[in-house]
């Protein structure tokens, strides 16, 4: 019975609501987090490119469902040195809120990650420029650590580049999972707004032109 007594104690906290809410979140957390990390499905995989991958096409494999984040079958390994550069086009606009990056629990794990937004087809030369955000990484073989994104800076991202600039000292870098958390907006909705605005603007211009000569004529 003592276990139940513990619950009664919670009831007393009801006014606070804080405890109960916390308890709730733990229970539902995995499912909710899985949904939040669903941005991988909004990536245009056909156009995704990973530079310096040792086997062509492997870079695409690390953007996988939340449930598969601990899967060791699919991974990307760097080739000539420890650097990797992911060019990730989305099928719409993304507000990025968090990122998880997971590798092996050894020196091949990425140690630094630099993010760039809306620079399609970045090359390693382009990584000389200042990133929009940079992170020192911890080893995270279980894909548990989420790095918070500066949302104001990444609120309208059509293309994300992730530069792994170094690892913990191995000759090559290995990545198993990259999880992106955020909100997604369809692309075409934005374009429609622009078209309507232009269509509305131009008749008004014409009206002004046609009225002006008549006014002169009357006076």
Looking at residue 149, what DSSP letter applies?
Answer: P
Residue pair 124/83 in contact (Cβ under 8 Å)? The answer is yes
Q: What proportion of the chain, given as a percentage, has pLDDT over 90?
A: 68
Q: Judging by beta carbons within 10 Å of its beta carbon (0-12, 13-18, 19+), is residue 177 exposed, middle or buried?
A: buried
Task: Give me the residues paired with residue 38 across strands.
Answer: none
Q: Sorting pLDDT into bands at 50, 70 and 90, what band is 30?
A: low
Q: What are phi and psi of 22, to 5 degrees?
A: -60, -45
Evaluate if pTM is beyond 0.85: no
Examine the pLDDT at 21 and tell me if it is beyond 50: no
The model's pLDDT over 103-126, given as tens digits with 9 standing for 90+, comes to: 999 999 999 999 999 999 999 999
Calpha distance 180→30 (Å, rounded) = 15
**Rounded average pLDDT over 13-42:** 61
Calpha distance 40→31 (Å, rounded) = 16
Domains of the chain: 33-186 (2.60.120.470)
Which stretch of DSSP H or E encloses residue 216? helix 187-218
């Amino acid at each position: 019975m003592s276990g139940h007594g513990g619950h009664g104690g919670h009831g007393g906290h009801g006014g606070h609501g804080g405890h109960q809410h916390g308890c709730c979140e733990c229970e539902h957390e995995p499912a909710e987090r899985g949904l939040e990390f669903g941005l991988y499905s909004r990536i245009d995989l056909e156009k995704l490119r990973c530079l310096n991958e040792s086997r062509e096409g492997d870079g695409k494999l690390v953007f996988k469902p939340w449930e598969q984040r601990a899967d060791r079958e699919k991974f990307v390994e760097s080739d000539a040195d420890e650097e990797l550069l992911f060019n990730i086009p989305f099928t719409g606009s993304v507000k990025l809120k968090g990122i998880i990056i997971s590798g092996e629990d050894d020196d091949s794990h990425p140690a630094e990650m630099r993010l760039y937004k809306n620079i399609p087809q970045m090359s390693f030369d382009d990584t000389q420029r200042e990133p929009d955000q940079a992170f020192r990484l911890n080893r995270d073989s279980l894909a548990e650590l989420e790095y918070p994104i500066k949302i104001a800076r990444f609120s309208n991202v059509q293309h994300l580049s992730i530069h792994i600039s170094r690892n913990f000292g191995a000759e090559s870098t290995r990545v198993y999972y990259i999880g992106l958390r955020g909100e997604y907006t369809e692309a075409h909705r934005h374009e429609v707004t622009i078209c309507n605005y232009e269509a509305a603007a131009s008749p008004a211009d014409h009206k002004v032109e046609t009225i002006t000569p008549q006014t002169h004529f009357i006076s």
